Chain A
Amino acid sequence: AQKVTQAQTEISVVEKEDVTLDCVYETRDTTYYLFWYKQPPSGELVFLIRRNSFDEQNEISGRYSWNFQKSTSSFNFTITASQVVDSAVYFCALSEGGYSTLTFGKGTMLLVSP
């Protein structure tokens, strides 16, 4: 069965620091999809990125970057030069074999202080 582990429950940083959120997944499928979502205090999950299991290219989007390594079953998320507005709970999620159903990790709460 699929499983997503986010070992970091809470991370606190000061503005402008870089921070990496870890995600380790388990799956028996060779085709799967990985996602990151952001959940601000308002509660709505905001989609950040989607990767498929055949694409290990790292991706950068502004201050955000993602490192996908199949060898270690990890899909880590780095925020460069963090800002207060980055404060939220971040979830890593896995969809096994497609069909959209998501299995989420427990989330990492990121607190960025001024």
Chain B
Amino acid sequence: DAGVTQSPTHLIKTRGQHVTLRCSPISGHKSVSWYQQVLGQGPQFIFQYYEKEERGRGNFPDRFSARQFPNYSSELNVNALLLGDSALYLCASSPRFSATADTQYFGPGTRLTVL
């Protein structure tokens, strides 16, 4: 079975531009989460979606937004890019949105560089 897929693999943008990152979860998984990982740090939670609804949001500015589609795939959008947005963006999927903390399975990430 295919794992979590993300596109594009790499992306170079300039300050002030907008970017859209895409994620397809593992088949059968209905929850998708986004994390930002800057170099040398652990991933930081950005959003979690389940059944097309936002279920959690991390401490990120409103320039970050996301959505989930009926097929459970997801997009992360970042407006007005800053140099500090340069990072590896990881998508993770899990079967449910559950109080028993389903294991999250991660994709390969999108490496965003902002110049």
A residues engaging B (CB < 8 A)? 4, 31-33, 35, 37, 42-47, 50, 52, 91, 93, 95, 97-107
Chain B residues near A32 (CB, 8 Å)? Answer: 101
Contact between chains at B108 and A44 (CB < 8 Å): yes
Contact of B33 with A45 in the complex, beta carbons under 8 Å = no
| Residues of B86-105 whose CB lies within 8 A of A | 88, 90, 92, 94, 97-105
Query: Once bound together, how far apart are the Cα atoms of A93 and B107, in whole Å?
Result: 17
Task: Tell which of A47, A100, A104 touches B43, judged by Cβ atoms closer than 8 Å.
Answer: A104
Shortest CB distance B41–A (Å): 6
Say yes or no: B33 contacts A101, CB within 8 Å: yes
> Please, which residue of chain A has its CB at the minimum distance from the CB of B105?
A47
A68 to chain B, nearest CB (A): 15
Alpha-carbon gap, A89 to B90, bound state (A): 15
A103-B103 CB under 8 A given contacts A43-B111, A45-B90:
no
Tell me if A103 and B109 are in contact (CB < 8 A).
Answer: no
Tell me which of B97, B103, B107 contacts A44 (CB under 8 A).
B107
Q: Which residues of chain B in 38-76 are interfacial with respect to chain A, using CB atoms and an 8 Å cutoff?
A: 40-45, 48, 55-56, 58
Interface size on B, residues (CB 8 A): 31
Q: Would A99 and B43 count as touching, CB distance under 8 A?
A: no
In the bound complex, do residue B103 and residue A50 qualify as a contact, i.e. CB atoms below 8 Å apart?
Answer: yes
- Across the interface, B56 reaches (CB within 8 A) one of A42, A52, A99, namely A99
Report the separation of the CA atoms of residues A107 and B42 in the bound assembly, to the nearest whole angstrom. 6
Q: Which residues of A contact B31 (CB under 8 A)?
A: 100
Q: Which residues of B contact A91 (CB under 8 A)?
A: 42-43
| B10 shortest CB reach to chain A, Å | 11
User: Closest approach, in angstroms, between the C-beta of B80 and any C-beta of chain A?
Assistant: 26
State the CA gap A99–B43 with chains docked (Å). 17
Q: Assess whether B99 is in contact with A101, with CB atoms less than 8 Å apart.
A: no
Whether B99 and A99, one on each chain, are in contact in the complex, defined by CB atoms closer than 8 angstroms, is: yes
Smallest Cβ-Cβ distance to B102: which chain A residue: A100
Which one of B41, B92, B99 contacts A98 once the chains associate, using CB atoms below 8 Å?
B99
Besides A44-B108, A50-B103, 7 more A-B contacts (Cβ < 8 Å) are A31-B99, A33-B101, A44-B106, A52-B101, A99-B56, A101-B48, A104-B43
